[in-house]
Amino acid sequence: MDVMKRLPRQSWWQKYHLKTISLVIITGLLIILSAQVAGVDLAMFWGNLDQFTNLLVRMAHPDWAYITIIGQPILETIQMAIIGTTIGTCFAIPLAFLAASNIVQNSWIRGLVRFGLDLVRTLPDLLLAAIFVAVFGIGATAGVVTLAIFSFGMVSKLFYEVIETIDEGPIEAMKSVGARKLQIIHFAVVPQVLNQFISYFLYTLEINVRASTVLGYLGAGGIGVYLQRSLNEFNYSQTAVIIIMTLVVVFIINIISNYLRERLM
Amino acid sequence: MEKSPELTIKKSYYDRYGWLFWALIVLIIYVWSLQGLKLSGIQASASSVSKSIISGIFHPDWAYVYNGSGEDLVSLIVQTLAIAFLGTIISAVISVPFAFWAAQSPSEKWHVRSTSGKFVLTLIRTFPEIVLAIMFIKAVGPGSYAGVLAVGVHSVGMLGKLFSEAIENMDDGAEEAIVSVGGNATQVFALATLPTILPEFISYTLYRFEIAVRSATILGMVGAGGIGTPMLFAIQTRNWPRVGIILLGIIIMVLAIDSLSGWLRKKLV
């Protein structure tokens, strides 16, 4: 009984783990409800598993000759990602400065800018692609604009977080000798953030290369156009080549970008 | 890198002119990208279409919000959330063994087990989600179910990686305490490992749920259920007021889920 006296006091709901139990029950109920809404049927999955394995077997025999045809669209995909990311980043930089709390003291402007950036970030890439294909027509332009807006949302957030973590010393030094706002940004902020900016730019480029491979599925240029064609024609041996080549390209871009980012840090 | 004092004062040629080399490479990359893209093919109707899109967004089709048919905005958004939720739960369960497979032990940097696990997770992560969705549509037919399976499999790539990093960075004090009082492997796992990493696992799962909500909205574009299907249909039939209300619905849904999940994650960690 001595031991019991030394234990901390627990209220009755802590003692019976009521919080945990109710959370588990709520999660369980949500799972059951979601399963009903989504029409999940385990029997159907196991019943049709042979079709799925059949598809996998056909994909396991890639049509290697197809590589010569998809070389050009894969390069176009990378070009789209580079141009799109660059355009998005150019627009993101001024807004990142406007959203950083140590640059803009007015919380109204900052809040408004951040809310706008949040709104841009809510829209998924393929959704933007569908809209821009309707605007610009089928082709790489829609893809570049999609990637520009997509990377704008992402880069602006990453950049203003970088700006907010910088050392205040140089800024105060510049202020004390009477520098203007743009001079402060040029001489005290930019040298501190440049390496991290480049690093995040490369990271966004990585993500955009991955994203741009599927944008063409809706007509926005690049390898995705061929992906959609092969899937519609049930030509899975070609689909397999496209996926393998995409994986190879994404791996290579990741390796280059990781190497550069490690050098920058 | 240790440099002798003389070297740091007198800059080498690389230090002085190295940036020229990099600038040249960057220039070549941009020239190559710009000449390779055919950006001229903008259709003539571009400006009139964008005008009607903008007017559609400002004059949304309010009647579509709820009409009780099960094909309205609210029911489809609920369906989208259900796809994301169920898919994330499935992937969280699958990710746990993957995470233990891929987690590095602190003593060695390279190990067959952890390196192979990390490689498999990278493969899953890079496999395009919409291709997965199309593959599952062949197996279970078009609809939300295929979306659930696609989210469930694809999310393992990222969740497994985040979970394995959580295991690698775990504080092993609790484990050592249980070992030192003579606990066996099962007891160590149940009483020390699991309680230590569970909050982080749940937090990462919530974060992944935010991403899954975004994927679930686009999976419908290939026929895997949710709001994406009527969205693509409205775009293709140039029904801009309908596009406007769906966009509004998606934006509100994503903002609400992000802030809810952010609030929960702050409470957890």
pLDDT (tens digit per residue) in A5-59? 666 777 777 777 888 888 899 999 999 999 888 888 777 777 777 878 888 888 8
Residues of A in contact with B78 (CB under 8 A): 37
Q: Does residue B27 form part of some domain?
A: no
Cβ distance of A49 and B139 shorter than 8 Å: yes
Residue A136 is nearest to which of B46, B122, B228, comparing CB atoms? Answer: B46
Confidence (pLDDT) at B108: 67
Domain coverage including residue B189: 85-268
Q: Chains A and B: how many Cβ contacts under 8 Å?
A: 163
Q: Does residue B141 form part of some domain?
A: yes
Cβ distance of B221 and A250 shorter than 8 Å: no
Q: Does residue B206 form part of some domain?
A: yes
Residues 76-95 of B with CB under 8 A from A: 78-79, 81-83, 85-86, 89
Burial B2-40 (b: 16+ CB within 10 A, else e): eeeeeeeeeeeeeeeeeeeeeeeeeeeeeeebeebbebe
Q: Does residue B213 form part of some domain?
A: yes
B53–A contact, CB cutoff 8 A:
yes
Cβ distance of B33 and A79 shorter than 8 Å: yes
- Please state the rounded mean pLDDT for residues B59-88: 88
| Burial class, A43, CB count within 10 angstroms (exposed 0-12 / middle 13-18 / buried 19+) | exposed
Confidence (pLDDT) at B62: 86
pLDDT in tens, B212-253: 999 999 998 888 888 999 999 998 898 889 998 999 999 999
- Please state the rounded mean pLDDT for residues A120-149: 90
Confidence of residue B8 (pLDDT cuts 50, 70, 90): low
| Contact partners, residue A234, CB within 8 Å, separation at least 6 | none
Give the count of alpha carbons within 13 A of A189, CB side only.
Answer: 24
DSSP string, B60-96: --GGGS--SSS-SHHHHHHHHHHHHHHHHHHHHHHHH
Q: Chain B: give the shortest CA distance to residue A9, in Å.
A: 21
B209–A contact, CB cutoff 8 A:
no
| Burial class, B237, CB count within 10 angstroms (exposed 0-12 / middle 13-18 / buried 19+) | exposed
Q: How many CB atoms lie within 10 A of CB B153?
A: 20
Rounded-to-integer distance, Cα B172 and Cα B167, Å: 10
Looking up residue B214, the CATH number of its domain turns out to be 1.10.3720.10
| Contact partners, residue B102, CB within 8 Å, separation at least 6 | B114, B117, B118, B120, B121, B160, B161, B164
Q: Chain B: give the shortest CA distance to residue A182, in Å.
A: 25
Residue B221 is nearest to which of A31, A79, A130, comparing CB atoms? Answer: A130
Residues of A in contact with B250 (CB under 8 A): 122-123, 127
Confidence (pLDDT) at B210: 93
Calculate what percentage of chain A has a pLDDT beyond 90.
24
Rounded-to-integer distance, Cα A81 and Cα A203, Å: 12
Highest mean pLDDT among A6-10, B132-136, B150-154: B150-154
Q: Does residue B76 form part of some domain?
A: no
Q: Does residue B42 form part of some domain?
A: no
- Please state the rounded mean pLDDT for residues B46-66: 84
Q: How many domains does chain B have?
A: 1
| Chain-centroid distance, C-alpha B256 | 17
Rounded-to-integer distance, Cα B136 and Cα B127, Å: 14
Q: Does residue B23 form part of some domain?
A: no
Compute the mean pLDDT over every residue in chain B, rounded to the nearest whole number: 86
Confidence of residue B9 (pLDDT cuts 50, 70, 90): low
Confidence (pLDDT) at A115: 92
Confidence of residue B66 (pLDDT cuts 50, 70, 90): confident
Confidence (pLDDT) at B121: 92
Q: Chain A: give the shortest CA distance to residue B245, in Å.
A: 14
Confidence (pLDDT) at B109: 67
Is pLDDT at B1 greater than 50 in this prediction?
Answer: no
pLDDT in tens, A59-98: 888 888 888 888 888 999 999 999 999 999 999 999 998 9
Q: Is this prediction's ipTM beyond 0.85?
A: no
DSSP string, B111-142: -HHHHHHHHHHHHHHHS-HHHHHHHHHHHH-S
Rounded-to-integer distance, Cα B116 and Cα B118, Å: 5
Cβ distance of A243 and B128 shorter than 8 Å: yes
- Please state the rounded mean pLDDT for residues A211-231: 87
Residue B145 is nearest to which of A39, A119, A136, comparing CB atoms? Answer: A39
Q: Does residue B19 form part of some domain?
A: no
- Please state the rounded mean pLDDT for residues B151-172: 91
B261–A contact, CB cutoff 8 A:
no
Calculate what percentage of chain A has a pLDDT beyond 70.
97
Q: Chain B: give the shortest CA distance to residue A35, in Å.
A: 7
Calculate what percentage of chain B has a pLDDT beyond 90.
36
Cβ distance of A86 and B30 shorter than 8 Å: yes
